[in-house]
Amino acid sequence: MIGAKRMLLVTAAVTMAISTVGGVAAKPKTAASSTTEANPLATADQNEITRKALAAIQTEQVRKGRDLAAFRWKAVLRDEPPAEAWPSFDSMMDDFMFNFAIKAAASDANYPKVVHIYTPPHSWQGMAVPGSRWGGDNPDNIYRWIPIDSTGHFRLNGKVSANPPSDVSYVLVGDWNTSKTLNMVEQSDLKVNSDGSFSITLDPEPANGRANHIQTFPGAKALFIRDSLGDWNQRANALAIQRLDPPSAPPMTDDQIAAKTADIALEALPHVYWFYKLAHGHPNDITQLTKSGSVGGLLTQRAGSGLAVLADDEAMLITMDPSDAAYYSVVAHNNWWITIDYANHTSSLNNSQITKNADGTSTFVIAPRDPGAHNWIDTGGLHTVPLVIRTQGLSKNPAREPSIKFRVVKVNELKTVLPKETVWVTPAQRHSQITERQRQIAARMADH
């Protein structure tokens, strides 16, 4: 979902100077958003934006926008999706509209908030919250959105968690689809204080020797943050945003948020359809791993995508040679390129969740029904399934690039064609595998 028009990586040393932003005089202090010590995602910002987004999707204006978006989807798709896809069309529209309701409610850079987005449906502070996923979301990522403009001066204060993410990227995006990268910095580029605290400044001026700085550019919409959890027991960093300039306008009204929700959802629809077509390639074919930035993904990632079309008695085998990659994963999605319920299904697996082959490769088994292999990518019973394969933390040696091989076989052939060291699980062991995933996602989505 992240593309690259322009990238200016800023390597830096740390600063925790609170009163100034480099050579810019200190601005009148405004209220900073807060974090909690339990779940770093359970914040006052999250509560406020969730309530505003829920109110927006109940308005007549957003309902009409949703109806128009659904009409346009169906008009262009006609009979293209398989029959099994249509029962989830309405839930896809729920995710689609709520994604843009969150972005609209958190679009005012005069009063910036840190908000967790691209999440599955969940309960939050007594509220039934729809999903906000689309575009091939990754269950290993915690995505956050902070409104930023090209004229203001901002400071993002953070605290690295006790069990920190494998990687974090801070990407300045110039569109509502998060596919136009204007600038970025990664956690590994930042200097962090001995207590785990750090600050990143954002403003229109170059760094000019300032540490941990992201220069903003015209068209900036938001800072889009990915905390990548190579291990689902890891915790996101705590974050709080502060605008150092006085606001130039009053806060957005509920009517303005509703109007913006409808507008940006309809504006994004052609791009979303492009992503949809990208996900639906040739049946039972997977692209080799290429840099993700060219198709709107993370600039520092190599990824492949494909479409598994399987009968009940078939399985697709994907064998990955990760080379020196620190992270790799396979994720199954429904027809609409939204993740299949990954708390209750092994619909995604990364290298910390699988068993590996003796030669250092890893084989994933994609199938509609449980074949008994530990490395089962569960399609949730679906037979036409877009797949995304990701690798990160790659070697700088071009001779050590990761690669994949794939083929479709009959399920009853698996014990013959899979490596002899393949781990097979009992129903009880599968239940334990799912129970652990449920626990980890519940901790991630805890509202306290």
**pLDDT at res. 18:** 24
**pLDDT at res. 37:** 52
Whole-number Cα distances in Å, 201 to 23, 168, 171, 413: 12, 16, 13, 56
- Where are the CATH 2.60.120.1600 domain residues in the chain? 280-444
Portion of the chain with pLDDT greater than 90, in percent? 81
- DSSP H or E stretch at residue 65: helix 60-77
DSSP 8-class letter at 300? T
Tens of pLDDT along 151-188?
999 999 999 999 999 999 999 999 999 989 999 999 98
Average pLDDT rounded to a whole number, residues 13-20: 27
Res. 298 pLDDT band, cuts 50 70 90 = low
DSSP 8-class letter at 166? S
**pLDDT at res. 9:** 31
Tens of pLDDT along 303-338?
899 999 999 999 999 999 999 888 999 999 999 999
Round to whole Å and give the CA distance between 328 and 11: 25
Tens of pLDDT along 215-226?
999 999 999 999
Average pLDDT rounded to a whole number, residues 192-196: 98
**pLDDT at res. 279:** 87
Burial (Cβ within 10 Å: 0-12, 13-18, ≥19) of residue 104? buried
Tens of pLDDT along 99-136?
999 999 999 999 999 999 999 999 999 999 999 999 99
For residue 91, the SS3 value is: helix
Tens of pLDDT along 21-60?
233 333 333 444 444 458 999 999 999 999 999 999 999 9
Angle between helices 254-279 and 60-77 (to 10 degrees): 20
* Short-list 188, 110, 189, 99, CA closest to 145: 99
What class, spelled out in words, does domain 280-444 have in CATH?
A: mainly beta
Residues 6+ apart with CB under 8 A from 120: 131, 133, 339, 341, 342, 343, 441, 445
Round to whole Å and give the CA distance between 15 and 211: 6
**pLDDT at res. 38:** 84
**pLDDT at res. 300:** 61
Query: What is the pTM (predicted TM-score) of this model?
Result: 0.89
Round to whole Å and give the CA distance between 129 and 123: 6
DSSP 8-class letter at 25? P
DSSP 8-class letter at 297? S
DSSP 8-class letter at 339? B
Helix/strand number for the chain, H first, E second: 6, 21
Residue 8 has pLDDT above 50, yes or no: no
Portion of the chain with pLDDT greater than 70, in percent? 90
| Residue 333 bridge partners (DSSP) | 339
